[in-house]
Structure 1
Amino acid sequence: MSTITSHGQIDKHKESSFKRKVVIVIDPGHGGEDVGKPKRHTKSHFKNEADLNLDIALRVGGYFEERVGNVQIYYTRKTDRTISLNERVEFANRVKADYFISIHCNSLKDRNYKGTQVHIQSKTFPTTYGLASSINKELLKTGRKSRGIIDHDDRGHNLQVIQYTEMPGVLIECGFMSNSEEEIFLNSGKGQTYIASALYRGIRNFENLKVKPAPDKRYPYYRVQIGTTPNKNEITYKKYRKLNMQIDAVKENGKYSLYVGREYEKRYIDKLLATVKKRGFKDAFIKTFKKPVPQKITPKPKVEAPKKIEKDSTVVASKDTTSTPSNNKEEELHFYRIQIMSSDRKLDINKREFTNLGEAVYLFYDENSTNPYKYQVLVGKYYAKSKAVEVKEKVRKKGFPDAFIVTVKQSEARKSQDRYIPKNN
């Protein structure tokens, strides 16, 4: 799996930092051979759903990498490649993600439909529902129409990537490609920025809540066992294919137990069992999975060798390895800039949207970044924090609502690729 990582340490140069180490898996839906919803518009530069999902996903991850410390971002894919639903689920579970965010775009025959949808497994999961509500609130702030928070009951079916993942997860439908106005919005840099920043703020705000909802109750859960086999390759046989369900072969006691489904409510697993029996597996039955109880391991007592004391030995104090403030005055000096945007292409900072700010504007390029948005536009150079705060509010009102302050050590200041300096500066 491809990863982009902010390595978990608290970074004083970020806009904020989570109080705990947070792992987020961002899943751009579809990819490779699976284009998702095909583009409808005749414009050649418009994209299929898989490519739009990836564009938005990378922007969401980019916001976290630029602005938040103590976070680790993983992507299920960073390129246009084929990846199964099973692989997405297994990856998120393997890295023990705190949040799973799957990004999609919608399409319907009725071209009048507009708006966003936030899908979850169940509204009975307090943390998942709280996360979805926070994201939905931020999407509304961008002026997007919300079509609500939708769970298993509303849909009438499961979505595998939020059914089988073991952490709070949401699947966001960012808009309807079948609507010409929304398709233009989804293919625009402005539209993708609005959506990505809303997802970023929704997740960030939820994680920063002083009092969070109760944890999701994911145990017990239920599965339907359809049989056992000594050869797990049997699941490719016709009798299993006609079931038309995902079958998991789990090795137990020297054989493979074959399971379908994963439900958290008895009524749903009862319904699944009835369906499985109707399709020919008369001996199928429900199995309940309870939360594993960690085994206590009693540590073995350490046996220390007796210390040999040399005659007339002198005790020498060990070196203090804790960090101390640097005596290098240049390293202690710092100033503030305001970052207003990032881009995957070089920008002309002499355009009116930048010159109208009335402040010095700088374009930087970070060739070492793993984020595709390597170009950053920053404003000013201020040695007083109060002045930086004042300018941040000013540029937010002038069209850059996600602007934030960056602290730069004098010794680490980069050379800009381009700059605009107003005449009165």
Structure 2
Amino acid sequence: MWLKSNSRKNNLYLNFNSIFAMKLSSKLLKKLKEFINMRHSCINFLLTFNLILAAILGTYQTSFSQHISAYTLSKIVIDAGHGGKDPGAVGKISKEKDLTLAIAKKVGALIEKNLKDVKVIYTRTDDTFIPLNERSNIANKEGADLFISIHCNAAANKRVSGAETYVMGLHRSEENLNVAMRENAVISYEDGYNETYEGYDPNSAESFIIFSMLQNAFLKQSLNFAAIVQNDFKERAKRRDRGVRQAGFLVLWKTSMPSVLIEAGYISNSKEEQFLNSEYGQDIIASSIYRAIKSYKENVDELNKTVLELQQAQKSNENTQKSSTANSIEFKVQVSSSQNLLPDIEEKYKEFGNVSVVNFNGTYKYLVGGTPNYQEAVKYCNTIKSKVPDAFIVAIENGNIIRLSEALQKINKSE
């Protein structure tokens, strides 16, 4: 397990997926594939594997939750899908790589204009081929708080339309699997992809299933943001809402922050392709994504405000309790004692000031002075010893004498 921290203390991430990625070497992938192909049920294997992984992640998240600072939204990576020699999906009048870049730039421009405290990082700003793993590396190196990969979808059925947002996870349908495998197939453009992606085969459903289990640490935040995106697509852009989905996208695999992959529409649908190519279409899609980011940031900021208030209240309560403990203990100097109460005791010791009497186990203790500060009590006692050599310090808590060592121990704990 790694703990990844950048220079900002508010950006401490627990990167579980990296440790699993390291351990899932090519040999282990091969073993897992062999296991899946055994007569044991593949479904039972997947359920067991998921339960074990969830238990491990849950345990570590709980263990380290107290050490993780508040999650903020101050850096966002905008990833325009495909690029360069990788055109992505190809329609009748456009290529996916060009549409994603146009939308990505518009989203970034809206953030830079309206959210001054948020830094935008692009994985590409021109028609350049960027390997999938390098896209997540950019986000990790920058210490980003949110990763958004923008794509356009395609389907054999030309009538399919609408927008959907994916988070990393186990696919729930064959359709989700096909989308992920199509997007992941871009790695075939990369040299040595088998080593880079640790045995992942873009044509293998088994590889997809295994790798889709690896990015769970930020699933909840990713799902929350994805839901906001889909709501804005539906309400603002008036797009058909195809919902929030889970699938195993390599571009999301190693991101150590909440991450989503947005399919803004179907380039294989002629009407939707024209919409995505229009200035209005790109503006309304970009605006919807921006508004989702703004809403998500407001939620994060509000949560941080609430957490801060709770922390301050808790600290104040702890300080009050500590102060109460310290203030309830007082140090006095005992100058005499007797079995029977002596008359005129105040007159006898009035020169020392603040004379009091405490009955302790049937014996009357005659005390002078009084201070919550032990060092002051020591100095005071030393001055009295010139006239009362047997004088010594006693500790009083709530009117009762307690052991001096016990009093000092309580005060030390409260400081």
| Greater relative CO (CA pairs within 8 A, separation 6+) | 2
The structure with the larger Rg is 2
TM-score by length of 1: 0.42
Normalized per residue, the structure richer in strand is 1
